[in-house]
Amino acid sequence: MKLNKLTGAIIATSALMLGAHTALAAEVEVLHWWTSGGEAKSVVELKKMMEAKGDSWKDFAVSGGGGENAMTVLKSRVVAGNPPTAAQIKGPSIQEWGAEGVLADLSSTAAAGKWDSLLPPVVSKVMKYKGNYVAVPVNVHRVNWMWVNPEVFKKAGAKVPTTWAEFPAAADKLQKAGFIAIAHGGQPWQDFTIFETVVLGTGGPEFFQKALVELDPGALNSATMEKSFNNFRMLRKYVDKDFSGRDWNLATQMVIQGKAGVQFMGDWAKGEFTAAGKKPGVDYLCVDAPGTKGDYTFNIDSFVMFKQSSPDAAKGQEDLANAIMSPQFQEVFNLNKGSIPARLDVSMAKFDDCAKKSNADFVASSKGGSLLPSIAHGMAVPAASAGAIQDVVTQFFNSEMTTKMAIEKLAAAAKMK
């Protein structure tokens, strides 16, 4: 990401000008992309908490799953010298924004709140730029889930698959019984979400780390990657004809309503099941995606604050950071969102079995070396490389591109910086 060199100066000047007109109560303008049913219920909890602190919330929601639209809008606001107070940014992008010199330093708030002792290192590391906190984590999402409608499986006489090799037999039965096997939304980030899960389930955690985190040329150009693409292509025949462009939450609805058997999606999908009043283990199942038992691709949502010079804005930012890190928020937000708290000390007592499994697998996988950053959700590599790889994955899924060609293109895309 490259912003105009003048950006920092423009921001400072416009912040001063804004400061001169600011009213007493701090207004926080917060950019996010949480617009689905479950997401909206979650973000409203943050708004309520800020209002209880006497701050006013200016909602800056930019719809579009995965956040690509939100990031485009954010860049134009920052380049115009008018950044929001806070924005949902995550993973290596935090470093890219940090390097632009536009992020507020949250060190003193973090030190006062003892964030270092409350957050697991895998989380706190992502939140820091040059050793200082510049971001606040709201949750940990797990990506490698398969959401199952058990009733649909029962009616079709199909067994829930645990490997990619088992998948076609189950999916054929679902289709023969008149169901859509896979509820999918054909948007590049959703294709990429499935792809990374397939790579993990095909090659295992070490392979995932080499190929999709380190972008190791040998792993990218390997028989295992070829097998991954073949498995990915196999899934293409199990989506319905209307899949192109469909939003992820509409795909989740297809599972909820018993039209489809499964969806491969991170546990923000659980937020939709929860919002629809559905119970895990009864109305739906959360199971490890085929071949990924106990492995964990993580996706941590977080907020950064942009430098502002008015004291009111700084108060609003401190309030927001403290609200996000509070155990009350971490509990209620994540109960709605489908994720688990980023803080280690929040009780899991009120959480359902899927969240408890996520929590247990998070801890176990971090010890066993299979806790991995999601490339599809901006946690593993810089945005430019992730975007270029995503393009290849989407083109492959939506064309007759050969596996050999896909691997060649993948190697070229991985070199994008």
Residue ranges in contact with ligand BGC by CB under 6 A: 33, 39, 65-67, 141, 268, 299, 301, 377
Burial class of residue 310 (count of CB atoms within 10 Å of its CB; 0-12, 13-18, 19+) = middle
Task: Tell me the DSSP string of 190-230.
Answer: HHHHHHHHHHHHHHHHHHHIIIIIS--HHHHTSHHHHHHHH
Min dist. Cβ of residue 331 to ligand BGC (A): 17
Which amino acid, 213?
V
Q: How far is the CB of 288 from ligand BGC (least distance, A)?
A: 19
Q: Least distance in Å: CB of 34 to ligand BGC?
A: 6
Closer CB to ligand BGC, residue 161 or residue 188? Answer: 188
First to last CA, the chain: 9
Residue placing its CB nearer to ligand BGC in the complex, 228 or 299: 299
Least spacing, CB of residue 16 vs ligand BGC, in Å: 33
* Comparison of 170 and 304: residue with beta carbon closer to ligand BGC: 304
Q: Looking at beta carbons only, is 66 or 341 nearer to ligand BGC?
A: 66
Closest by alpha carbon to 280, among 251, 245, 255, 316? 255
In this structure, which amino acid lies at residue 259? K
Q: Which is nearer to ligand BGC, 39 or 361 (CB)?
A: 39
Q: Minimal distance in Å, beta carbon 247 to ligand BGC?
A: 9
Task: Give the integer Cα–Cα distance in Å for 417 and 394.
Answer: 19
Report d(CA 406, CA 393) in Å as an integer.
8
Q: E strands within 81-218?
A: 86-88, 128-129, 132-133, 135-137, 141-142, 145-148, 180-182
Judged by beta carbon, residue 67 or residue 280, the one nearer ligand BGC is 67
Output 160 or 250, the one with its CB closest to ligand BGC: 250
Q: How far apart are CA 151 and CA 9, in angstroms?
A: 59
- Does an H or E element contain 27, and which? strand 27-32
DSSP character string of 370-412 = -EEE-TTTTSSS-HHHHHHHHHHHHHHHTS---HHHHHHHHHH
Of 32 and 409, the one with the shorter C-beta distance to ligand BGC is: 32
CB of 93 to ligand BGC, least distance (A): 11
**Of 184 and 377, CB closest to ligand BGC:** 377
CB of 326 to ligand BGC, least distance (A): 19
- Which residue, 182 or 219, has its beta carbon nearer to ligand BGC? 182
Rg (CA), the chain: 21
Q: Shortest distance, CB of residue 128 to ligand BGC, whole angstroms? A: 19
**Any bridge partners for residue 400, and if so which?**
none
Please, which residue, 65 or 83, has the CB nearer to ligand BGC? 65
d(CA 99, CA 111): 22
Q: How far is the CB of 339 from ligand BGC (least distance, A)?
A: 7
Neighbours of 216 (CB within 10 A): 15
- CB of 66 vs ligand BGC, minimal distance in Å: 5
Closest contact distance (angstroms) between CB of 381 and ligand BGC is: 15
The single-letter code of the amino acid at 186 is G
Chain centroid to Cα 374, Å, comes to 8
Collapsed DSSP state (helix, strand, coil) of residue 301:
coil
CB 189 within 8 A of CB 379: no
**Which residue in the block uniquely carries the two structure tokens 């109305």?**
283
Nearest CA among 272, 264, 232, 282 for reference residue 406: 232
